[in-house]
Amino acid sequence: MILLFFGLLVVTLILLLMLVIFGFTMRALASLLLIPGQVAAVFTNESVRRNEALKHATMNVIEERYGQSGLNGVAMKRGFTLDGIAPPDIILAAALEGLRRLRAGERRLAIHRRCVTAIVTAGVLGAVAFLGILLGTDRLNLLNVVLAVMVANALAPFVGTVLQKLLSRYADLSHLRIVGLAGSPLVSSEEAASPRPAPEHFEIRTAVGE
């Protein structure tokens, strides 16, 4: 009976290990095929680069004043979004200050650790490392997964920061203006009745002009 129990336990662990390895392999392939397209606009569109820099500056200004915010969002051609808990007036004031300080030369504000570029970099590096190790060793095992994760985590922060610095150099904010702010709750009406602050979706709209 004990031997049967341990046999089933070993089989279960092997199956779980195979599922983890298979899942990581599929994720690696998906990262190489799909994730780069999510940030292609940042590399190819000047408007998106400008708004990406302003989004990071807005987040950095808020965190300078109030600490970790948990805010995150996406840059677009005509502005950027922010999701999280923060009053609209603070969001708008931070965006205006961030734009002013970027124009004054504080390019460090254009770099943020939660940048989608850095996150994507980690995913792509993990995919490349895992597939490279897999092809190099011709073995599919847990060690490959661990090595890939370690390589990706070691390189991603450095590469992500370098990419952000490079992209911010090509983001001309001299004629960028903030023209509006819109916000809406991210919760249902029942959740909105809760005393806890509700997350919101903000859209900061920008335009280029004198």
Mean pLDDT of 70-81: 88
- What does the pLDDT average to over 181-196? 55
Percent of the chain with pLDDT over 90: 20
Please give the model's pTM, rounded to 2 decimal places: 0.67
Number of domains in the chain: 1
Q: Which residue has the higher pLDDT, 206 or 37?
A: 206
Closest CA to 87 of 203, 197, 187, 3: 197
Q: What is the mean pLDDT of residues 157-176?
A: 76
Q: Extract the runs of DSSP E, i.e. beta strands, from the chain.
A: 75-76, 79-84, 176-185, 200-208
Range of the domain at 179: 2-208
